[in-house]
Amino acid sequence: MQRIPHIPVLQEPIVEAFRDSEGYIVDATLGFGGHSQALLEANPKIKIIGIDRDREAIAFAKERLAPFQGRVEILRGTFATQLPKLLETYPIAGVLADIGVSSLQLDKRERGFSFESDLLDMRMDQEAPLSAYEVVNHYDLARLQEVLRRYGEVRGAERIARAIIAHRPIASAKELANLIARLLPKKGKIHPATTIFQAIRIEVNRELEELEGLLKALEEHRPPGAKVAIITFHSLEDRIVKETFRRWARNCICPPETFRCQCQKNHALGTIITKRPIVASSSEVAHNPRSRSAKLRLFQFKETNGTRAR
Ligand SMILES: C[S@@+](CC[C@H](N)C(=O)[O-])C[C@H]1O[C@@H](n2cnc3c(N)ncnc32)[C@H](O)[C@@H]1O
């Protein structure tokens, strides 16, 4: 097998979260199979259904997980499309999503995510129709500005969007990064184009819509007793997960203006396991700097229909 191109983050708490599970765990972001391998080794009672939209990741994970024959099924596609079908078909005992890009996607220049890349691509699925080139070179001012503002929380989004448009065509990530570096001051070690690249990447891969789709599918199906573990890497995603878990855990669903509760206060779908997100220890960050911004939140659905999935 080739060198493993990605170090799984927060592996220990993920293994702990599913240590007592039995049955099917969906690894919605299979990547290079690091989390899945650790789960399969730690718990012989589980099977993994892995999803990824990146062919390169799937090929690697297939080889890596081959020793667990009969306990692994791998699907290519987006989790927002695949998960609803799985929830209808299998008694799912858990769902793991380690949202975001893999180190290989970030580091490999041909994928067009890194500041040094000669391409402008950023697609997790290399067959998807929208690439960073389209966003940077073809979006109109209003749309480009909105992407930067909403997904990068970029201050002065209009000025930057105008500068991008004035410099079209922009052929590579390198060219874009250099343009931004001339416009924005450097903050410490962080490249000034970081949030702009993040915004474009989120738009290209519809990352927030995907996360919302995954949560919607879980809310609709409420797999009894299932644990949900979601690792996020930036505040936009973490906020969506935090607020959704809070809403799911709420017993009272009366509108805020209601004087006295009329809903019988029994509407919680389950329990939040992590009151605060689990973050990487200082030794994990030293070993894998990308774990610095990772946040893990856990939720467990109620075992309402008596079929116990632990
Ligand atoms: C951070 S990596 C996961 C690494 C994995 N946990 C491991 O240990 O190797 C994220 C992976 O999720 C995939 N991914 C991200 N969003 C996705 C989506 N909406 N649908 C399917 N795969 C997605 C990416 O292609 C990438 O391979």
What is the structure's pLDDT at 104?
83
Beta carbons of 298 and 274 less than 8 angstroms apart: yes
Say if residues 173 and 119 touch (Cβ distance below 8 Å): yes
Can you tell me the distance from the alpha carbon of 86 to that of 162, in angstroms, rounded to the nearest whole number? 44
The alpha carbon of 287 and the centre of ligand 1 are apart by a number of angstroms equal to 21
Q: Where are the beta strands (DSSP E) in the chain?
A: 23-27, 46-52, 72-76, 92-98, 227-232, 270-272, 278-279, 295-301
At 28 the pLDDT is 98
What average pLDDT values come out for the chain (310 residues) when binned by 10 residues? 82 98 98 97 98 95 96 98 98 96 86 93 96 98 98 95 98 97 87 95 97 98 97 96 97 86 90 97 95 97 63
Query: Which residue has the CA at smallest separation from atom 12 of ligand 1?
Result: 29
Calpha distance 310→211 (Å, rounded):
24
Kindly state if the Cβ of 56 falls inside 6 Å of ligand 1.
no
Residue closest via CA to ligand 1's atom 5 equals 31
Give domain limits for the chain: 11-103+207-301, 105-205
Domain 105-205, CATH class in plain words? mainly alpha
**Is 203 near ligand 1, meaning CB less than 6 Å away?**
no
CB–CB of 136/75 below 8 Å?
no
Distance 166 CA to ligand 1 centre (A): 34
What is the pLDDT, as a whole number, of residue 95? 98
Sign of CA dihedral 81, 86, 89, 92: negative
31 lines ligand 1 (CB under 6 A): yes
29 lines ligand 1 (CB under 6 A): yes
CATH architecture label of 11-103+207-301: 3-Layer(aba) Sandwich (3.40)
Q: Are strands 295-301 and 270-272 parallel, antiparallel or unpaired?
A: antiparallel
Burial of 47 (0-12, 13-18, 19+ CB in 10 A): middle
